[in-house]
Amino acid sequence: MASEKASIANVLLRGESRMPRPGYCKSASCSDLIGGSRNSQKHSDHKANGFSASKDHRQEVTVIEFQEAILACKTPKKTTSSRLEWKKVGQGVSLVYYQQALQGDFKDRAEMIDFNIRIKNVTRSDAGEYRCEVSAPTEQGQNLQEDTVMLEVLVAPAVPACEVPTSVMTGSVVELRCQDKEGNPAPEYIWFKDGTSLLGNPKGGTHNNSSYTMNTKSGILQFNMISKMDSGEYYCEARNSVGHRRCPGKRMQVDVLNISGIIATVVVVAFVISVCGLSTCYAQRKGYFSKETSFQKGSPASKVTTMSENDFKHTKSFII
């Protein structure tokens, strides 16, 4: 326990750390860390908003986006012959500190304090695994020491994307959807109707009502059999331990399904189809269609055609 407290105090770099909200602490000695941070205020003017803890021989630093964080390299004191490098490890390896200079965009928003990197303005793209490497010549040869720091960046949700139908019919199954892709940790979702929260159950993640079911994890509000009373303005709020945002309200109108009107329409359509069918049968019986055919057969056009063929035959015979 004493060694753990000492390592945590070293991570904070003898500075006062603005502690995150409840739930950020990832170490069993969180209360001891708070006390150690306060006591260290006397020895340094450097302040960092990140929270650090040791876990399985690897440091974990948690910080809110756009605040400050310190990545501490826990190695023996630096000597004149020591060589320090910081690298970010992911799909590839990128240099952060090399040949006594910060690299990339860290030049403008970070500084070195002894072996440690102080990031002044952390962004979500900074999240990942960092490794410091310290090499120094010894009698036995080159001595290499490494330390690993995992940086987690907490991000407030953005304005969630909400799907609310404008018009539905009573008795149907309707789903309202809400989603945010930026928040870290993943946000929970709360739906509101006319400014009133349809609060979910934080433990189970769902809230059941006689007319709807709300899942605070997926952001789906489902009406199993929607009624006229469910008409109103709906909006969703995404929230996590960093912040909360909501989407603009949208009006959903629930219209009553007119059963009698539908039956009347079906009857009228069936009547029209029946009348058309009877009219066709009556015309066939009276021979209207056969007379028209006979008229077409006896038309002048057919006679002209017949006469033309006869004349052609007669002329052909005369020539021969």
Q: What is the pLDDT of residues 97-142, one digit of tens each?
A: 998 899 998 999 999 998 899 999 999 999 999 999 998 877 777 7
Q: Looking at residue 270, what is its pLDDT?
A: 74
- For tokens 């072996």, the residue is 115
pLDDT of residue 299: 52
Given pLDDT bands bounded at 50, 70 and 90, which one contains residue 256? Answer: confident
What pLDDT is attached to residue 266?
Answer: 73
pLDDT by residue (tens digit) across 45-98?
A: 434 455 555 444 689 999 999 999 999 998 766 676 788 999 999 888 999 999
**CA–CA distance, 245 with 266 (Å, rounded to integer):** 48
Q: What whole-number distance in Å separates Cα of residue 4 and Cα of residue 59?
A: 11
pLDDT (mean) for 158-168? 96
- Whether the per-residue pLDDT at 275 is higher than 70: the answer is yes
Predicted pLDDT at 137: 78
Looking at residues 140-145, what average pLDDT do you find? Answer: 79
**pLDDT at residue 30 in the model:** 35
pLDDT at 300 over 60: no
pLDDT-wise least confident of 70-79, 124-133, 188-197, 307-316: 307-316
Which residues have CB under 8 Å from 301's CB, separation 6+? none
Closest by Cα among 252, 220, 214 to 233: 252
User: Across residues 298-317, what is the average pLDDT?
Assistant: 49
pLDDT band at residue 206 using 50, 70 and 90 as cut-offs: low
Of 177, 180, 196, 198, residue with least CA distance to 188:
180
268 vs 191, higher pLDDT: 191
Of 193, 190, 204, 195, nearest to 226 by C-alpha is 193
Which backbone phi and psi does 270 adopt, to 5 degrees?
A: -65, -40
Q: Residue 163 CB: number of other CB atoms within 10 A?
A: 14
Q: How far apart are CA 135 and CA 141, in angstroms?
A: 10
Report which listed range, 54-58, 90-94, 174-178, 270-274, is most confident. Answer: 174-178
The residue that leads in pLDDT, 215 or 273, is: 215
In sequence order, the 6+-apart residues with CB closer than 8 A to the CB of 253 are: 166, 167, 168, 231
How would you classify residue 84: left for phi > 0, otherwise alpha for psi between -120 and 50, otherwise beta?
A: beta
